[in-house]
Amino acid sequence: MMLLALVMAASLTGCQATDGDSIRCGDERIRLLGIDAPEMGRCPPQRRCADGDPVASRDNLRRRIAGRAIRVERIKKDRYGRTIAVVTAGGANLSCLQLSGHHATYRRDWDDGLRVARACRDMARR
C-alpha cells in the first residue's frame, strides 16, 4: 500500500484553484481529500453544502498554491472523474490549511483512511 502511494505521488506546477476544495492541473481536476468548501454556484437540492464565503475560500486556496510546486498524493477517482488527493504546498497540507482558516468544513465520511484527521492533528502540534 505504501509503495502504491509513493508511485502515485507527483509534484506539479501551474495549478489553479477552481474553488475552495478543488484545483486544476492541466486537464486533471483534483479534489482535496476530506473537506467541503462553500459552493461557487448553487448548492444542489439533494446535498447539504458547506456554509461560508465561496470566493474567500477559493482565493485563500489560490494564495496557498500561487507560484509553488504542489505535491499530489492521489488516492482515488470520484464519481465525477476527479482525482481525490492529499495535496501539499510548501510542505503544508492544503486541506488542513483550509480547515484552520475556516474556509472549509471537515467531512470524516470523505476522509479516506482518516489521512486528513491525522495530518491536521499533527499540524496542530507544530
* pLDDT for position 7: 44
* pLDDT for position 64: 95
Q: What is the pLDDT of residues 92-122, one digit of tens each?
A: 999 999 999 999 999 999 999 999 999 998 7
What residue spans define the domains of the chain? Answer: 2-125
Q: What is the pLDDT of residues 47-89, one digit of tens each?
A: 888 999 999 999 999 999 998 989 999 999 999 999 999 999 9
* pLDDT for position 125: 56
* pLDDT for position 14: 84
Residue 77 backbone zone (phi > 0: left; psi -120 to 50: alpha; other: beta)? beta
* pLDDT for position 4: 44
Spatial distance between the Cα atoms of 7 and 42, rounded to a whole number of angstroms: 37
Q: What is the pLDDT of residues 2-53, one digit of tens each?
A: 444 444 577 887 899 999 999 999 999 999 999 999 998 888 888 888 999 9
* pLDDT for position 56: 97
Query: Strand pairing of 28-32 and 83-89?
Result: parallel
> With respect to CATH, is domain 2-125 assigned 1.20.1330.10?
no
Query: Strand pairing of 9-12 and 35-36?
Result: unpaired
